[in-house]
Structure 1
Amino acid sequence: MFDVLVIGAGHAGIEACMASVRMKKKTALITLNIDMAGSMPCNPSVGGPAKGIVVREIDALGGIMPIVADKTALQFKMLNTTKGPGVWSLRVQSDKEAYKKMMKEILLNTEGLTVIEAACHSVIIEDGKATGVRLEDGRIIEAKTVILTTGTYMTSTILRGHTATSSGPEDQPTVNTLSESLRKAGIKTFRLKTGTPCRVLKDSIDFSKAEVQPGTNEFLSFSTTTKEEDVLPFDQQEVCHLIYTTPTTHQIINDHLHDSAMYSGLVKGVGPRYCPSIEDKLVRFADKERHQLFLEPESRSLDTIYIQGFSTSMPVDVQEEMVHSLPGLENCIIKKYAYAIEYDAIDPLQMKPSLENKIVENLFTAGQVNGTSGYEEAAGQGIMAGINACLKIDGKDPFILRRDEAYIGVMIDDLVTKGTKEPYRLLTSRAEYRLLLRHDNADQRLLEKAYHLGLVSKERYDAFVLKMEQIERAKEELAQVHIKPGSSVDEYLQYLGFDPLAHGCSELDLLKRPKVTIHGLSSITNVDYPPVIAQQVEIQVKYQGYIEKAKRDAKHLEQMEKVALSENLDYLHMDNLSLEARQKLDQIRPATLGQASRISGINPSDIALLAMKMKK
């Protein structure tokens, strides 16, 4: 008998079982193949817009994806640096083989975690509660809670051209009985589709026809625990390359659209809107003369290059023509052909904000099985499912992150409130409080919560408290530093494009100007701070007005989130609610008034009526 039983060792499953272990629960992880733990069957990278901030949030919650991503990265790149801090995001090009190997070693050497290599036949459900699983060899594993993180492995099918093969990603086996056991319990499933491009031999590419895409030449990391000596020095980091599709590429694809599994009628599931196949791009954006593609290394132990942006489900002979029409790839050798994969996912509207299923008690789900796409989205859900499974066992309230507290909170709220009919991907535009949800302040938002949950050590928490004290002390000191008009400061301001100072002011006030930095003023004031402290002070000072407005807006949301709605409310017979509101509220059964307000089709008048009823 285990406390927490996790099915699947992908990015969601790993974070779920590691969170459970940190919260002192007897934990088991069932996986088809431990060598595939943390595999990256698609893009060999971690992070990117919004996603990189999720990885920082996972770090603040004590997760391991950030640590392993840092230590196995081939390139670090900070994105959107020409824009405001609300959209800064770190992305690393990953060594997918080193990443898998490190994850495997961590899992096998974690005390309190039992790893079981087996195929899961079905979830055992008794009286509406998950009590364990039945393995394909007949064994039964009992558990107080079950976390399903099967990714794209439930009844999955590989699609190329007019051919469909029952298989999981990267030639791994699929599980065909698991989703049927869920449907028998009343859980709704639906089909989704994703895909991956060809891999070509590196030595067969003419890189002189491509634009070099280097990383960022400074120390960057996802985890605040990562030291500079833990990561690859900049001069040893790999470079990526940029190329574009050609008119010939487009002609080949358009001539063979009927051969694509996507357009031949073979694909039944809905594909990702924000990461479509190349043939889907050509159909959707017929006016575009070309599409950009990135050539990315997969691992230092592999001789292959990943063609990002060239996902396809064309037959292999057509893929040969397509790839050879690209600049620099005219004579390349394809080592692994592209494919589309279709799989079963669970309707996220049947999920509570805690990620526990509404139909089957003690069953939690996380990752692509919930209808999302991306390693980072999966890991973020996994850590939350692991936390909430432990809290459920202890009889405690679930740990729910609000939309103003984390991108993880935005994602889960979107899933359980709006649902999805296509693979869901996090975007910065999904977060209405993105100035509060920054790359630089994930620890300020979440680390104290993690400490009280038992997810991070006292040593790390104390280091965080010290950092916050240093930031406040620096702001106080800078408020006392008086800068008089004069040659040095005027030269600095004119260099930045400002008029000279008309009268004296504090250094803190001067920092409100764009481009003015503590380090830039240090030669004038002899006051400087470590980069992490200086950056925090500058962001807080420069964006103070915007941050305070966002906090005021979030305060209104917080008040609505405090109004809990009973699970047993009879919405269908509630007087004066619109018919659509009754039906939507009955289907989704929101946990709070705030969640109810975000349901599509619910009007402000419906919310006002609900609020009145709750007051009564």
Structure 2
Amino acid sequence: MFEEYDVIVVGAGHAGCEAAAAAANMGSKVLLVTMNMHTIAQMSCNPAMGGVAKGQIVREVDALGGQSGIISDRTMIQFRMLNRSKGPAMWSPRCQSDRQMFANEWRETLEKTPNVDFWQDMVRELIVKDGRAVGVKTNLGIEIMAKSVVLTNGTFLNGLIHIGEKNFGGGRTGERAATGITEQLVTLGFEAGRMKTGTPPRVDGRSLNYELMEEQPGDEVPGKFSYADTTSLTHQRSCWITYTNQDVHDILKTGFDKSPMFSGRIKGLGPRYCPSVEDKINRFADKDRHQIFVEPEGWNTVEVYVNGFSTSLPEDIQLKALRKISGFENVKMFRPGYAIEYDYFPPTQLKLTLETHLIENLYFAGQINGTTGYEEAACQGLMAGMNAHLKIREQNPFVLKRSEAYIGVLIDDLINKGTEEPYRMFTSRAEYRTLLRQDNADIRLTERSHAVGLADDKRLENVRRKIAQTAELVAELMKIKVAPEVVNSQLDDYRTSPIKDKTTLHQLLKRPQLTMQEIRKIQPQFSDYLDGFEEDAIEQTEIHVKYDSYIEKEQMMVDKMSRMEDLAIVGNFNYDKVQALSFEGREKLKKAKPQTIGQASRISGVSPSDISVLMIHIGR
């Protein structure tokens, strides 16, 4: 019935979609197996892409030739660049998405990809011969053969949904759980564990009083994720902010005895950085309110996502508590929030390519590896799909270093440190975040991806033009000088000190009070010159000029770490004498007794700053 495929991808969430698209666009014959063709790329939780560090990942996926950035641009209803008040290393793009459009756009994209076939069924078993994955068996009893298999099962492996004292099998509300794969993998020698996540109730936007909430509009000039020729938004939908209060907390507490989390019915660990509302009340008892983000689910729907109110309490208590929130007094609920437990496999069982150690040509990507978030899943799917394609063609693997991408940080953390709670990316996890900015992901990654056959020629041409234009603009800024008598009055207007001698525009742009916009006004001829350049190159030039010393220092640290990767730590090193180490870092180092700096840097709980301190002491 089926031909042999190059790659079978199991699961059509964010990881599965990126894996299928990447392998197919590189030339592999791909079969995407999903239990429901109508829920491809479903946004199971909040209808949004990006955010702090997550936005950088979406831009990296796009720079590599993935699809998440393009699809986000086509389906967003609001765009915001977060952390604009901070340095560019912290700038993080985020969009509010139209949930239904996002899923539809992904399905259409995959259907238009020539090398992708689809099959709606549940995979209950892998076909393994001589320690190698060679296919799958489905619930219908069909055997489908392949040269490699990528598992992206999300929350479906033995998924169990909890609402109050009720629980039932499911991978997502209204969808059944997947069974069989965990049990087989355990018999093959894999270690498995349980995790949990949750989602808030969805409510009827017509029943909300927005006049009692704070409006959160999008950026005046909305940006986008993709480096490709997608278009920016011309109009946007606002989100809104409100808060819980003591009345809300008191009502929620009445259901704590029925909470599956507090009663012990949920065994899996939940995400520390996105806790349920009952967990927040319990852990932060001193706070009298918590922020609630009121997020529309699309252009043409009244459904609203209550971000910040994730819960698994009984549905009647959820509704009573919601109605005590300002603006929610008459709220109607579409469906309650719930918690879900699911199987995952500690990612220390994987190679850096996301291929498993135990079974050759078997890859894991997404929540099966203990991560949380669409963006974390998408980038793993992309990397697994790329490496599955390269492996069966006996080509070199595609691996990103920590100094090259947030994707490299994520995978290195998972493989070397593992995770006992749902892993979420933060900028603080990256020790080289000045290099890993959202604005330069294409410069960092597109050429590498093009070399292995994923990023196309047009993307490479675009990034080379951006690099050339940036170099030309930097040279021009260094060449043009302005005299004190011409610019000092303007500098005074911008509240920056006057100049005494002729000064280059390059030197002026380094000042924190001046942006490229002010430089245009100071030197109108240069402003005319800029008209021939693309906005990406102009932004890149400004960042390069303002932060070149920081970028240079961080690059020196990268080079230093590369040289010191194998720097030995003496066996009896006394960590207690190094007072600048964090308490957790010191305890973990004493327990693990790493032999090298490289090994120490990968121990869970040892931060980048701990490693810097350790390097200084070893240098001494």
Aligned to 1:122: 125
How high is the TM-score relative to the length of structure 1? 0.91
Aligned to 2:542: 538
Alpha-carbon separation, structure 1, partners of 2:293 and 2:205: 13
Aligned to 2:490: 492
Aligned to 2:370: 371
Q: Specify whether residues 495 and 480 from structure 1 end up closer, same or farther in structure 2 by C-alpha distance, changes over 3 A only.
A: same
Aligned to 1:518: 516
Q: 1:63 aligns with which of 59, 63, 66?
A: 66
| 1:505 is the counterpart of 2:503 | yes
Aligned to 1:2: 5
Instruction: Tell me the CA shift for residue 479 of structure 1.
Output: 0.9
Tell me, yes or no, if the aligned pair for 1:97 and 1:301 is still in contact at 8 Å.
no
- Residue type matched to 2:520 in 1? S
Q: Deviations over 1:366-418 (max 9, x none)?
A: 00110000000000111111111112112223211111111111111111111
- How many matched pairs? 588
Tell me, yes or no, if the aligned pair for 1:474 and 1:537 is still in contact at 8 Å.
yes
> Residues 289-328 of structure 1: matches in 2 within 5 Å?
289-328=288-327
Tell me, yes or no, if the aligned pair for 1:191 and 1:342 is still in contact at 8 Å.
yes
Instruction: Tell me the CA shift for residue 108 of structure 1.
Output: 1.8
Alpha-carbon separation, structure 2, partners of 1:33 and 1:82: 43
Alpha-carbon separation, structure 2, partners of 1:120 and 1:473: 54
Tell me, yes or no, if the aligned pair for 1:121 and 1:178 is still in contact at 8 Å.
yes
Instruction: Tell me the CA shift for residue 447 of structure 1.
Output: 0.6
- Residue type matched to 2:68 in 1? M
- Residue type matched to 1:599 in 2? I
- Residue type matched to 1:30 in 2? V
- Residue type matched to 1:208 in 2? E
- After the TM superposition, which of the residue ranges 356-365 and 392-401 deviates more from structure 2? 392-401
Instruction: Tell me the CA shift for residue 33 of structure 1.
Output: 1.2
Alpha-carbon separation, structure 2, partners of 1:151 and 1:462: 36
Aligned to 2:350: 351
Tell me, yes or no, if the aligned pair for 1:193 and 1:341 is still in contact at 8 Å.
yes
In structure 1, list runs of 5 or more residues that go unmatched.
565-574, 609-616
How high is the TM-score relative to the length of structure 2? 0.91
- Residue type matched to 1:10 in 2? G
Instruction: Tell me the CA shift for residue 501 of structure 1.
Output: 1.2
- Residue type matched to 2:337 in 1? A
Aligned to 1:204: 207
> Residues 186-205 of structure 1: matches in 2 within 5 Å?
186-205=189-208
- Residue type matched to 2:173 in 1? E
Alpha-carbon separation, structure 1, partners of 2:593 and 2:400: 21
Tell me, yes or no, if the aligned pair for 1:107 and 1:115 is still in contact at 8 Å.
no
Tell me, yes or no, if the aligned pair for 2:252 and 2:318 is still in contact at 8 Å.
no
Aligned to 1:232: 233
Percent of pairs identical after alignment?
43
Q: Specify whether residues 600 and 303 from structure 1 end up closer, same or farther in structure 2 by C-alpha distance, changes over 3 A only.
A: closer
Aligned to 1:144: 147
| 1:88 is the counterpart of 2:87 | no
- Residue type matched to 1:391 in 2? L
Instruction: Tell me the CA shift for residue 109 of structure 1.
Output: 2.1
Tell me, yes or no, if the aligned pair for 1:371 and 1:423 is still in contact at 8 Å.
yes
- After the TM superposition, which of the residue ranges 426-435 and 522-531 deviates more from structure 2? 522-531
SS at match of 2:484: coil
Aligned to 1:475: 474
Q: CA RMSD in A?
A: 2.5
Alpha-carbon separation, structure 2, partners of 1:17 and 1:576: 49
Tell me, yes or no, if the aligned pair for 2:162 and 2:312 is still in contact at 8 Å.
yes
Q: 1:218 aligns with which of 221, 227, 234?
A: 221
Tell me, yes or no, if the aligned pair for 1:413 and 1:595 is still in contact at 8 Å.
no
SS at match of 2:173: helix
Alpha-carbon separation, structure 2, partners of 1:314 and 1:465: 53
Tell me, yes or no, if the aligned pair for 2:155 and 2:367 is still in contact at 8 Å.
yes
> Residues 57-456 of structure 1: matches in 2 within 5 Å?
57-227=60-230, 230-233=231-234, 236-456=235-455
Q: Deviations over 1:26-74 (max 9, x none)?
A: 1111111121111011111000000000000000000001000001001
SS at match of 2:317: helix
Q: Specify whether residues 582 and 49 from structure 1 end up closer, same or farther in structure 2 by C-alpha distance, changes over 3 A only.
A: closer
Q: Specify whether residues 372 and 496 from structure 1 end up closer, same or farther in structure 2 by C-alpha distance, changes over 3 A only.
A: same
Instruction: Tell me the CA shift for residue 584 of structure 1.
Output: 6.5
Instruction: Tell me the CA shift for residue 359 of structure 1.
Output: 1.4
SS at match of 2:144: strand
Tell me, yes or no, if the aligned pair for 1:162 and 1:264 is still in contact at 8 Å.
no
Q: Which runs of 4+ in 1 moved over 6 A?
A: 575-578, 580-586, 601-604
SS at match of 2:318: helix
Alpha-carbon separation, structure 2, partners of 1:78 and 1:317: 37
- Residue type matched to 2:18 in 1? E
Tell me, yes or no, if the aligned pair for 1:6 and 1:30 is still in contact at 8 Å.
yes
Instruction: Tell me the CA shift for residue 289 of structure 1.
Output: 1.2
Tell me, yes or no, if the aligned pair for 2:157 and 2:179 is still in contact at 8 Å.
yes
| 1:18 is the counterpart of 2:7 | no
Q: 2:553 aligns with which of 549, 554, 564?
A: 549
In structure 2, list runs of 5 or more residues that go unmatched.
575-587, 616-620
Tell me, yes or no, if the aligned pair for 1:73 and 1:231 is still in contact at 8 Å.
no
Tell me, yes or no, if the aligned pair for 1:125 and 1:185 is still in contact at 8 Å.
no
> Residues 554-593 of structure 1: matches in 2 within 5 Å?
554-559=558-563
- Residue type matched to 1:328 in 2? G
Q: Specify whether residues 542 and 583 from structure 1 end up closer, same or farther in structure 2 by C-alpha distance, changes over 3 A only.
A: closer
Alpha-carbon separation, structure 1, partners of 2:219 and 2:247: 34
- After the TM superposition, which of the residue ranges 59-68 and 100-109 deviates more from structure 2? 100-109
SS at match of 2:260: coil
Alpha-carbon separation, structure 2, partners of 1:377 and 1:560: 29
SS at match of 1:474: helix
